[in-house]
Structure 1
């Protein structure tokens, strides 16, 4: 797979962590909220439990988004699935639980929702998680018309995913835009560069497109900024504001 030959099948709006700020992130409730707001693509974070179950969680630790404490890597899935992952956001979501990759696959496939699967390894499990996620995505999505886009900040995880499932499309996630971004995209056979929306300029959009790649911007929560980025040609935006930046967009001012 080379970037210039890859047909980009993804919509321009992606629900960040499935439900943005309207539901507890990376949970079944977030999936339902994302779908209810008309999103046809979700982004979510996947890591390995102590007993090697692939589940959704952004942070390395459990404290922010559950009533658990300490590193997620130290817990089995049975322990993780017993936690309350909803009360931290609102009492209305008390008792909400974490989700597995299998669950989000079933939900999105049934509703024809595309996925950006962010490989979010616990510290020290980068390559292991990249391999496990890629193999699971390959199995769960099978011959789906629109394959999930795999992405990661961890180049070790992305490299392992490349080896495990070379035909799955990949995107390199970066905190800041490296001067050698072209070389890194080639190294991991990526189709896209996912960057902080604050770093996007019309020149960057042009340079990425001229190099044969797509450009996605995270996390865009201002309506006018979203309009500007799309007008410049950014291929997709990740957003938390599912109620104001939602399909169809951009709406007329």
Structure 2
């Protein structure tokens, strides 16, 4: 499972409203080959792109994502809080994001981001939509419950376990989940642990790296890819 070395965090990083189609288009224009975004279920079970369980930080709405149906969510403005230039940018559905990734030739890391109490349902539904959407992608999540549900729904899709710090039992956890990769915070990652993960043949991706020198240090340790809010810091040929 090949990973692009530089992956635009939450679609376009800090350069566009997070988790939006505008971010995907900007990432593609910058020359990114890979993007990452978060998928959560609306009240009617439709997966949409958003990170927080609540709407206030990134949209013009208020309340919980899980309490609002998708028809209302997609009418919210997900761009104005980033910059007035992105006003009226909608909250996209996962289907719309996957379709645009396919059209732009973008590899996608779809992070399953369940609201509390919706772990299994979110894993199952996101996997179903991801399988139907086709394209090059990997599913990841901090929730092992969500990953197991995704595996049951679409076992053919590659999955990655997402952790803050790589646990001592990472081999057993990956095996138990049938996961093919490991994603972790760069903070606290040691060369020894990175070497052990790579020696077992698992891709290792780190978040969130916004300096070239830090990325180069991680690549030298054997890290496969980094998630970045500043994909513009890399020349096109390096992505």
Give TM-score scaled by structure 2 length: 0.96
Partner of 1:174: 163
Give the secondary structure class of the aligned counterpart of 1:102.
Answer: helix
- Residue of structure 1 aligned with 2:220, choices 211, 231, 238: 231
Distance 2:81 2:132 in 1: 33
Task: Report the CA distance between 1:148 and its aligned residue.
Answer: 1.1
> Aligned ranges for residues 127-142 of structure 1 at < 5 Å?
127-141=120-134
Question: In the alignment, is residue 30 of structure 1 matched against residue 23 of structure 2?
Answer: yes
Contact kept, 8 Å, 1:221 with 1:245, in 2: the verdict is no
- Residue of structure 2 aligned with 1:114, choices 107, 112, 117: 107
Partner of 2:199: 210
- Residue of structure 1 aligned with 2:85, choices 81, 92, 95: 92
> Deviation per CA, 1:155-212, whole angstroms, max 9, x where unpaired?
1000100111111111000022222111110011111110001122221211101223
Partner of 2:184: 195
> Deviation per CA, 1:13-35, whole angstroms, max 9, x where unpaired?
11111110000001111111111
Question: In the alignment, is residue 103 of structure 1 matched against residue 96 of structure 2?
Answer: yes
Partner of 2:7: 14
Contact kept, 8 Å, 1:219 with 1:239, in 2: the verdict is yes
Give the secondary structure class of the aligned counterpart of 2:36.
Answer: strand
> Deviation per CA, 1:8-65, whole angstroms, max 9, x where unpaired?
2221111111110000001111111111110111100001100111110011110100
Distance 1:211 1:137 in 2: 27
Contact kept, 8 Å, 2:19 with 2:38, in 1: the verdict is yes
Partner of 1:126: 119
- Residue of structure 2 aligned with 1:149, choices 115, 119, 138: 138
Task: Report the CA distance between 1:246 and its aligned residue.
Answer: 5.0
Give the secondary structure class of the aligned counterpart of 1:175.
Answer: coil
Distance 2:11 2:172 in 1: 31
Question: In the alignment, is residue 49 of structure 1 matched against residue 42 of structure 2?
Answer: yes
* Structure 2: gaps of 5 or more residues: none
* Structure 1: gaps of 5 or more residues: 1-7
Contact kept, 8 Å, 2:119 with 2:143, in 1: the verdict is yes
Number of residue pairs the alignment of both structures matches: 239
**Cα RMSD, aligned residues only:** 1.3
Give the secondary structure class of the aligned counterpart of 2:73.
Answer: helix
> Aligned ranges for residues 65-80 of structure 1 at < 5 Å?
65-80=58-73
Give TM-score scaled by structure 1 length: 0.91
Give the secondary structure class of the aligned counterpart of 2:184.
Answer: strand
